[in-house]
Every structure is written in C-alpha cells, then in structure tokens.
Amino acid sequence: MRCFRRSNAKPHSRTIFGEYCSTSSVHGVRYFSDPERTICEKFWWIVMFVVSVSGCVVLIWSTWQKWILAPIVMNFENQPIPVTEIPFPSFTICPPGKVSKSMYDFGKEAKELKSSGSYANASDNFLAMVQMCEILFKFSKHYSIKLRNKKYPLSYSAVVENISVPMENFIGKCDFNDYFSCEYLFQYVMTDMGLCVNFNMLQKYRMLRRGSFPKNDPFIFPRGRGLRTGRDDNGGVIDLDALLGVDKASQEENSTSTTTASPRNIRKRSVSRKRNPIDIWFPEEGYIKKQTLDNIPTRGLGAGKYRAFNLALIGHEDDMSKECDDLQIRGHKILFHSPVDYPHMINSVVIPFDHITQIAVKPLVVKTSPKVRNYPPERRQCFFEDERYLKYFLVYTQNNCELECLSNYTLARCGCVKYSMMRSEEMKVCETINYPCLHNAVMEFVKTEDPTRRFTFGKRPKLNAFSFRGQCNCLPACTSYQYDFEIFKQSFGSGKIDGITADYLGTLSVFFKEPQFIAMIRSELYGFTDFIANCGGLLGLFTGTSLLSLVEIAYFCFVRPLSRRINRSRVSSVHSLPPVISTVSGNGKACEEIQPVEK
C-alpha cells in the first residue's frame, strides 16, 4: 500500500499575493506580506488601508450621486451683454375699467336687474361682464343668482370686444424711439381680464399655430392693429404680412387646419432673411446682426430714462363702475413678460392714478450650454425649443405650456373653457351658467403652484389638479427671458398734459436700469472627463493609486495566475515521473513522498 504526504510548497494564490504585495504601487500594501513586520504592524496597516479605501469609496459614491442627480449647475457668464442685443421688455396694459359706458351702460342694467329681483332677462353684455368681474361673480354666488345662457350667436370674446374700453380712453400719448403713434406701437390682446393692449409681443402668425384659435373669432389681437407694419430706411411703411408672404385670406381659411410643422421649419419657410429689412428674433437664435433697431420685437435702446418708453395714462370716471371694478385699487394693470409669452394677467401689478411712475427693468436671461443637450430633459430640467411640442403655440416657454395645461384642465374639469383661453374650433366656450366650475378650476390650478397645498372644489374631486399639472411637465425653456423691475413713483399733483383731457392723469416710463447685464448659463457640473478626474484625485489622495495601479491589480488577478499555470504545464511535459524517495511512516509502513518540481 502506497501513501502520499502533501509537501510544504506554498499555494499559488499565496505566492501571487505575496508577489503583488512586494511590488505593488498602492501605498501600504507592501507591508501586508513583509516578513520583517510583526503581526501587530501588519494588522495596523490592514486597518488603515481598509479605512482609507472605505473613505475613498464613500466620497466617490457621493460624487457619482451628485453627477447623476444634479449634473447641471447655474453660473454667470464671463462677459456682460449689452441691453441692445435683447428685446425691450414686452408689457401688457389693461384699462382701469372693463367696459366703456358709451358702448354699454353696465351700471344701469345691474341696478335694474337687482331692483327687479330677477336676472332672467339679463343681456348678453351683462353675462359677459359676469365672467370678467370677480366682484359680480362673488355677489351672484353669495345670493344664489341663477343666470341663463347667452341668447345670440355672437361669441363671448366678440361681445367683450364690442363693450371694452378702447385704447384711446386709457392711453393718451406714447413716445418710444421717435414713434408717437400708440396704434402703431400697441396691439390688442384678449386676456383673462378682458381686452388689453400689448407692446413688443410676437405677432399672431409667429406665436400661435394655425387652428389654435377659432375662425373669425376676435380672440387674439382682435382689432387688427399694432405691430403688423414697420418702417424702412426712408421712413416708409412696410406691410409685414406682404413682406413675409402671409396671405391673410388663406390664413383665415386654413386657420382650423390640424397639420402643423415644427416651429423651426415654420420659421425657415415663412422668413426670408435676404428679403427682410426688419430683424426677426427668437430666444435661441437671437437677432440677425444688423444696424437697424426697428425689429420685431423691438430691441432695447440703451439704459436710463432718456431711452425709456414714455406713456401718458388716463382714466375716465364713466369707464369705471363699482359693480365690477375694485374702486379701492384704481389704476392700470401692467404685466412684464417675454415677447414669446402670452400674457396671463393674474400676475399683474397696478399703476395707480395721478402718479408719475418710473419702472427700471433688469433683464433675467438664462442660456444653456450646447453640451447640456446631451442630457435628457429630466436631468437638465429644461426643454430646448425643438424638443417640446405645444398644441397651440409655436414657441415653447414654461408660461405658454402652463396656459395650455390650464386650458386642457378646464376642459377636463368643466367640459368647456373660458373665452380668453387657448382653444381649437371644436372646443366649447363656457356659458355664464358654467362660470362657477370655471372659476373653481382656475383656482385649483393656480394653487397647485405650491405642492404642499392641494385644494378640491366642486362636485368632481376625482380630477386632481396637482397630478394633472404634473403630467403637463412644464419645465422651463433652456433659453428664457424674464424682466425684474423696480417701481419708483411720486404724486402727479395737479399737473396737466397738453392736449389731454381726462378725469385721471398719470405718466409711466419704462427703461433698462443698466446698459449691460450678466446672463446666467446652464452648464455641466461634471462632464465625464471631470468625473474621472475627480475619482482619480480621490484615489490618489486616499490610496496613492493611479490607472496603472488598477491595471496592476487586474494583472495579478488574471494574467499572472494564467501565466504560472502555462509555465507549470510546460515543465511537466518535459520531465518524466518525479523521483520517489522511500520513507517509513510512524506505523512502520513504507511511504513514498513525491517531490514537487520547482519552477
């Protein structure tokens, strides 16, 4: 019987580990297998190595999480930007009263209906006023007044247009860049506060998609005035519709078309830069570099009150009624916004009567680095213009997206929309009898701006405004323009303005506060190269390793064992059987010890 005894040769793994420790470039590892070190010293170095590696792993994980969760950082641009390279702020002004007494005596009918005790015979004009007057709505709701539907086929927006205060009754004079015609500078726009006027907003065919407003309904820019014309170098009038190839008749015929192209393609098709003497502006492209300042929208002229837009604001007692208007806060409502934002007057401020008001504007411009486009919108938290399609708007902005979302929510909530909301031809406009639901829907939607507040009104609590608004996913635009402002005012006293007769007078000046500003820019917090560099720095700080150190570990884990195995197989094939040495075991039996072949 033959017995074999295992030799004292070290296992291959221990041999390789000892070889790695003695030659490793990682700090502290060579002490793990140093025969001159005691067990306590080896234990010390092992503990310190584990602590260092653990700290390194924790910090690398933190860097990774920061890169994944917040890869974008907001920084200031290096160079200031002149205000002449951006649009002058667009602003919308609403009159102090919502109805012109010369067109419709609202106060008289309100008193007659109240004295009769019945509102069954209320006119269509009165029903339209209920949708514009918050005070009247609360009164009718408090006293449970039942209102009928509109009698005549004329739309609510057309009714509002017919009875609204004309611009010449609340804006007396204008002066901007040597233009003095208010009708040239302003355009009419339908808002949630009725018919207002706007300066420096894009025209209808550059802002809205075809089919986003009903045919022949005075929904937006209803009276056809405003920035539809420009001036050439000789001061002559230029028809922009003819210049840009816009056929007004065909535009009306095709206004309900559902086929739409991308905003970028529409711009390329409708704008010929070679033929156009007036600059065209879009947020991401900016202005075409030309000398003229007569653009659409108009450029800023510079800073200071001498480069201001000056207006004479007027008011007439007949155009205001206590049944509709809040007489405690009397004045014009004004809202500053981007030229590509449709105005939502719920965020407006009041310019009081009989005051000299100066508004100093400071641009808040946010741009985005082209490298950020490689990140998905959820990570960069913004949309580029060609990434997000809006049903009603050609240009994506967060404000336009939220207005579209509000219109869709109101339709889902009430089965109809308000006359001033974006809508298509087939969407029903709410009658006055539906106004309580319409009012509740707007309040629900507005109050979801604070995620901690969730309100439910009406009889349909299953439709949650918070979740509906979240599904709209109205992220900011990657390139956005906003205008912060400071208001300075003093009493007008008994001052007069030549050529103007009105019950209330005041002046308004709007200008840039400074000639230059510094924009914000979204950029990468860590690019891939930055992330690797940060990880390399942490590895070098805690363990003294480099990329070759990792290669070294891979070598001793995979390449070196395979190489030893190949060498052993070659040696075994050369030699014959190993020598056998007979020995005697403890029980007196002979054993044979096989000596290993050393390499």
Q: Determine which of 82-96, 187-201, 569-583 has the lowest per-residue pLDDT on average.
A: 569-583
246-291 pLDDT, tens digit each: 444 433 333 333 333 333 332 332 322 233 344 478 888 888 766 5
8 A C-beta contact, residue 382 and residue 476: yes
Delimit the domains of the chain by residue range.
12-70+528-594, 81-96+167-397+477-524, 104-163
565, 569, 575, 579 alpha-carbon torsion, rounded to 10°: 50
Q: What is the mean pLDDT of residues 38-64?
A: 88
d(CA 416, CA 530): 52
- Average pLDDT, whole number, for the chain? 77
The one-letter amino acid at 86: I
Per the model's pLDDT, the better-predicted residue between 36 and 92 turns out to be 92
512-521 pLDDT, tens digit each: 999 999 999 9
**Helix, strand, or coil here: 486?**
strand
The one-letter amino acid at 165: V
Cβ count within 10 A of residue 237: 9
Neighbouring C-alpha atoms within 13 Å toward the C-beta of 121: 8
90-122 pLDDT, tens digit each: 999 999 888 888 888 888 888 888 788 777 788
Going by CATH, does the domain composed of 81-96+167-397+477-524 fall within 3.40.50.170? no
Kindly report the pTM of this predicted structure: 0.73
306 pLDDT more than 70: yes
Question: 520-524 and 355-368: which strand pairing?
Answer: parallel
